[in-house]
């Protein structure tokens, strides 16, 4: 594990967090929306950092497959629970779960930098 890269990535995430907070306060986004932070942006940023850390598209395929399975399971659960599938209800839950999964993959990728290239 390269501690310098991990430290720089964590600083980058903190800076992005504060910039997003600042933009939300300047443009008064907190009054209009319940969440100031965008889960779509955070998911993309965390996945990109994870791909950079793992440095092999072979190994990143496993977390992406888990992400797809979670998406399909969410569709099944919402269809069974509500008796119908509505995108407006699906997307917020999907992106919140995606951020949680992206955080887990990012933390794991910090320790998986020396996986063999296949």
Q: What is the pLDDT of residues 34-50, one digit of tens each?
A: 556 788 999 999 999 99
pLDDT digits (tens, 9 = 90+) for 62-112: 999 999 999 999 999 999 999 998 999 999 999 999 999 999 999 998 888
What residue spans of the chain are helical by DSSP H? 3-26, 29-32, 39-54, 57-82, 87-110
Residues 113, 55 contacting (CB under 8 angstroms): yes
Whether the CB-CB separation of 60 and 51 falls below 8 Å is answered with yes
pTM over 0.85: no
26 with 20: CB under 8 angstroms? no
């Amino acid at each position: 594990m390269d501690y310098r890269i991990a430290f720089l990535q964590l600083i980058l995430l903190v800076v992005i967090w504060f910039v997003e907070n600042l933009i939300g306060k300047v443009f008064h986004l907190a009054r209009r929306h319940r969440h100031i932070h965008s889960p779509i942006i955070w998911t993309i940023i965390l996945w990109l950092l994870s791909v950079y850390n793992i440095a092999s598209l072979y190994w990143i395929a496993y977390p992406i497959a888990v992400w797809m399975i979670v998406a399909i399971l969410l569709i099944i659960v919402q269809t069974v629970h509500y008796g119908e599938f509505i995108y407006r209800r699906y997307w917020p839950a999907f992106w919140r779960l995606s951020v949680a999964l992206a955080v887990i993959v990012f933390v794991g990728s910090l320790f998986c930098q020396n996986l063999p290239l296949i």
